[in-house]
């Protein structure tokens, strides 16, 4: 990927690293499926306003309704619901580790199942190194693999599979402006999640959540979804499904770094060492250094 795509990937990783924290706070006072609807509905309203301002609403054509519903189902409704459900009983650290398997599933889906991308050894090696780096950084959270409920862990893995399918399916929107593709899928997921939220809200009322929770919900919708998807769809169109899915490797690292910068949390040798392994994995997956070395005479 060119430097521009790496910068976009880093920014997106930082935003979604914060989103895991926003979700962990919000899901403590809001039912998971209700929170999913709030997240996508807020983001949808923001992006509809963006399209109106940019005079791009006409791109939301009726012929795209079904593809947008499918994309909203794969990239929002299913993974958000599974992740929020899992985070009701497991920590954000373990959830982000399990979510970091997304590039592995993306390689399988994009390269083996739909033959959308070429399967290459450096991609497999890079993803494996990246996941190893994430596991090292969050080693203490791995104890949850033995103690936390299996169903919650399977939810997070299921979300990773859904994200992988979505990244592959989203390539068909490359001809659309990224803000149109992002808005369309959020319209689809909002439509799907509204009846689900009404059914599973139970006796919950908006007044049951405090101000801090609602601030986290707004941050989750505006920053963690609307703005993030504008970046994600641009990256997907330019760099492909496997490269775009690398953001899930950066999310745990960004969460640790945000904790260090914002909350004053310490970074130990494991965190720094794991981050180094993660960066090595990204370099290997990118492949350019390996190609240059192979092309150098005498090497």
Res 299 pLDDT > 50? no
Q: Which of the two residues, 210 and 267, has the higher pLDDT score?
A: 210
Could you tell me the two tokens for 257? 């770094």
Q: Count of residues for the chain?
A: 299
Average model confidence (pLDDT) across the chain: 82
pLDDT at residue 216 tops 90: yes
State the DSSP string of 194-213.
HHHHHHH-TT--GGGS-HHH
Name the residue with tokens 């050894």: 121
Q: 132: closest CA among 10, 245, 289, 282? A: 282
- H helices within 55-171, ranges in order? 65-72, 78-86, 92-99, 102-107, 121-137, 144-147, 150-169
Give the dihedral sign, CA 111/117/120/125: negative
* pLDDT score for 25: 83
206 contacts: CB under 8 Å, gap ≥ 6: none
Higher pLDDT, 126 or 57: 57
Structure tokens, 41:
């509905």
Task: Indicate the burial class of 199 (C-beta count within 10 angstroms; 0-12, 13-18, 19 or more).
Answer: exposed
pLDDT of residue 146: 65
pLDDT of residue 65: 94
CA distance 34 to 81: 9
pTM: 0.77
Contact 193, 37 (CB under 8 A): yes
Q: Interior CA angle at 107 toward 248 and 164, to 5°?
A: 55
Read out DSSP for 244-262? HHTHHHHHHHHHHHHHHHH
> Residue 172 is encoded by which pair of tokens?
């068909």
299 vs 297: CA distance, rounded Å? 6
Exposure string for 186-195, b = 16+ CB within 10 A, e = fewer: bbbbbbbbee
pLDDT at residue 124, rounded to an integer: 73
């Amino acid at each position: 990927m060119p430097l521009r795509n790496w910068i976009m990937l880093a920014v997106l990783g930082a935003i979604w690293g914060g989103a895991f924290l926003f979700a962990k706070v919000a899901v403590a006072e809001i039912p998971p499926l209700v929170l999913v609807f709030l997240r996508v509905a807020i983001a949808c309203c923001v992006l509809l306003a963006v399209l109106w301002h940019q005079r791009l609403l006409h791109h939301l054509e009726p012929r795209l309704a079904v593809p947008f519903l499918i994309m909203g189902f794969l990239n929002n409704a299913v993974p958000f619901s599974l992740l929020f459900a899992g985070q009701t009983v497991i920590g954000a650290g373990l959830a982000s580790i399990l979510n970091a398997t997304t590039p592995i599933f993306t390689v399988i889906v994009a390269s083996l199942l739909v033959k959308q991308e070429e399967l290459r050894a450096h991609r497999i090696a890079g993803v494996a190194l990246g996941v190893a780096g994430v596991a090292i950084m969050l080693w203490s959270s791995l104890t949850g693999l033995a103690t936390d409920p299996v169903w919650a862990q399977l939810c997070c893995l299921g979300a990773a599979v859904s994200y992988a399918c979505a990244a592959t399916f989203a390539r068909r929107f490359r001809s659309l402006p990224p803000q149109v593709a992002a808005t369309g899928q959020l319209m689809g997921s909002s439509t799907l999640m509204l009846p689900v939220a009404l059914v599973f809200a139970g006796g919950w009322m908006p007044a049951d959540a405090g101000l801090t929770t609602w601030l986290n919900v707004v941050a989750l919708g505006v920053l963690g979804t609307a703005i993030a998807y504008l970046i994600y769809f641009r990256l997907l169109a330019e760099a492909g499904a496997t490269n775009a899915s690398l953001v899930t490797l950066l999310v745990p690292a960004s969460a640790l770094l945000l904790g260090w910068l914002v909350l004053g949390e310490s970074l130990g040798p494991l965190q720094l060492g794991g981050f180094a392994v993660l960066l090595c994995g990204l370099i290997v997956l990118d492949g350019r250094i390996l190609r240059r070395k192979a092309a150098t005479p005498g090497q």
